[in-house]
Amino acid sequence: MADYKKPDHWQQKARKEGYPARSVYKLKEIDEKLGLFKTSGQMLRILDIGAAPGSWSLYVLRKIPSNSFLAAVDLSPLSREFDKGLFDNGNFFFVQGDVTAQDVGEALLSKGPFSVIISDAAPNTTGNHTVDSARSLGLAETAVSFAETALVSGGNLVVKIFQGSGTDTLLKHMKTIFKTAKSFKPQACRGESVETYFIGLSKL
C-alpha cells in the first residue's frame, strides 16, 4: 500500500520549484508534449477547473504572456505559499465555489471565450471505485460542457478522469468536438492510480 502522506520525488520537486502540489508535473508534461499553450506572444484566455491548491494556475500564470488572462474555480481556497502575488494580478480571476452551480458557471462564462480549458478536478474519494469513477465522470462531463460552450475554435482541453464505466463514451464524444482527442497518463501520476487525462486538441 502506497504511503500518500510521505513526500515522494514529485512532491519534493514541486516544493523546491515553488508549487504547492506534485500535479504541476502532469500539466507540464502534457504541455511540453502537445503544445497546449501555443503562445508565440498572442493573448490567451484560460480556464482552470478544480484549481486548488493552485499548482496548475501558477504554472499557467508563469508561462503565458503578461497580456493573457486566467480564470479559475474550486470549492477550496488556493494556497498562497508560493504565488508571490501572482494571484493578486489583474489578469487572474478566482471563484471559490461549485463549478456546477449556475451562478458560478455564469461568472466563469462571463470571462470567456477561452483558448484553453484545463481541469484537474477530482471528487472526494470514498474508496468505492464505482462511486468514485462515476463522480469523476460527472466532473469531467462538466469540463467538456464548458469546452462545448466557451472554448474557441482551435482551442484545447485537458481533463482528469478516473477510468471506469462511461469514460469511453466521454472520449468518443470528445472526438466529435476536437480534431484530436485521446487519453494520456503523465509520468507524475501514481502508478497504481486509476486517474488519467483526456485531451482534446484543436476544437472543431
Q: Which residues are part of the catalytic machinery?
A: 160
57: part of which helix (H) or strand (E)?
A: helix 55-63
Residue 173 class from Cβ within 10 Å (0-12 exposed, 13-18 middle, 19+ buried)? middle
Q: Which grid coordinates are listed for 128? A: 468505492
| 95 three-class SS | strand
Q: In Å, how far from its chain's centre is CA 22?
A: 13
Query: What's the grid cell of residue 43?
Result: 493573448
Q: What one-character-per-residue DSSP string does 36-101 give?
A: TT--TT---EEEEES-TT-HHHHHHHHHS-TT-EEEEEESSPPP-SS-TTGGGSTTEEEEES-TTS
- Show the cell assigned to 181: 482527442
Q: Nearest Cα to 174, choosing from 152, 135, 202?
A: 202
